[in-house]
Amino acid sequence: MSSGTLTSQRMQVRTGGSNIGWYLLSGLTVVAMAAVMWAALMYARPATNLAGTEQMAQRIFYIHMGAIMGAGIAFLMALIGSIVYLLTRSLDWDRVTQASIEVGIILGTALTLAGSLWGKPTWNTYWTWDPRLTTTTITLLIYIAYLLFRNGIDNRHTRARFSSIYALFAFISVPLTYYSARWFRSIHPVVFNGQNAEAQGSFNIGATMTQTLWICTIGFCLLYSTLLILRWRQLRLEDRIEELREELD
């Protein structure tokens, strides 16, 4: 048997093992997201201090919070990836940073849309220049600008270095967004560890609500992990194709 055949078989075994883990994660994510929808729409008890359309719209809160957790972890992982890249110069960590930011933008857009749908019956408008909404939008724009910034640099190592520095400073907007409803006058409810006297649409968190929040957090974290790995693999393949083209040239 030729060495090329042996190498091919080894690669197939490794890929097969990797694919098993990937299929398990993907399947678990599908089940978890189905549980998210069931818990948010059916399991969680309605907020007793709300009524009518506002009470029904409150269920969007769980999707909103799940997306917030997923986006927060995505941007935190991007921060970690950028730091590790600057320390090691490993392009794999630059790919992690890019993939994590792209997934974070998707989840950030989802949380913004969910928040708007929740806000319409509560605040009588889809959008208001509230500090929390404004800082969330600014954060999304900062990370979208990261992708545009990357596309403007041709050399992959230069691109990775400057993009990592950008991602380091971009993360400052994340804690600013989190604390905006606490530091400034805001109508956005403060759900955990705080109060906001001017908040509109607040409600007490009961047992089933807490359980649903945990289900949504786990579900969206699994969704983030699945999308991150999928995009990271794609970026590795794209870089490998680019390397092969350079070798042929």
| pLDDT per residue of the chain (249 residues) written in tens, 0 to 9 | 444 443 444 444 444 456 898 899 999 999 999 999 999 999 998 887 777 788 888 899 899 999 999 999 999 999 999 999 999 999 999 999 999 999 999 999 999 999 899 888 878 888 888 888 999 999 999 999 999 999 999 999 999 999 999 999 999 999 999 888 778 766 666 665 555 544 454 556 788 999 999 999 999 999 999 999 999 999 999 999 988 888 887
Residues 6+ apart with CB under 8 A from 81: 93, 94, 96, 97, 100, 164, 167
Q: Where in the chain are the domains?
A: 3-248
Distance between CA atoms of residues 207 and 37, nearest Å: 18
Cα of 227 vs its chain's centroid, Å: 9
What is the model's pLDDT at position 17?
52
What is the model's pLDDT at position 123?
83
What is the model's pLDDT at position 249?
74
* CB of 130 closer than 8 Å to CB of 180: no
* CB of 81 closer than 8 Å to CB of 100: yes
Using the structure block, give the residue that is written with the tokens 């993907």: 26
Structure token pair of residue 12: 């197939």
What torsion do the CA atoms of 238, 240, 244, 249 make, to the nearest 10 degrees?
A: 60
The 10 Å Cβ neighbour count of residue 231 is 19
What is the model's pLDDT at position 66?
96
Range 212-227 burial, b when 16+ CB lie within 10 A, else e: bbebbbbbbbbbbbbb
Name the pTM for this structure: 0.87
Distance between CA atoms of residues 51 and 2, nearest Å: 73
Distance between CA atoms of residues 128 and 117, nearest Å: 12
What is the model's pLDDT at position 98?
98
- Type of residue found at 207: A
Distance between CA atoms of residues 194 and 207, nearest Å: 19
Strands (E), 99-220: none
The CA-based diameter of the chain, rounded to the nearest angstrom, is 76
Residue 2 has what DSSP assignment?
-
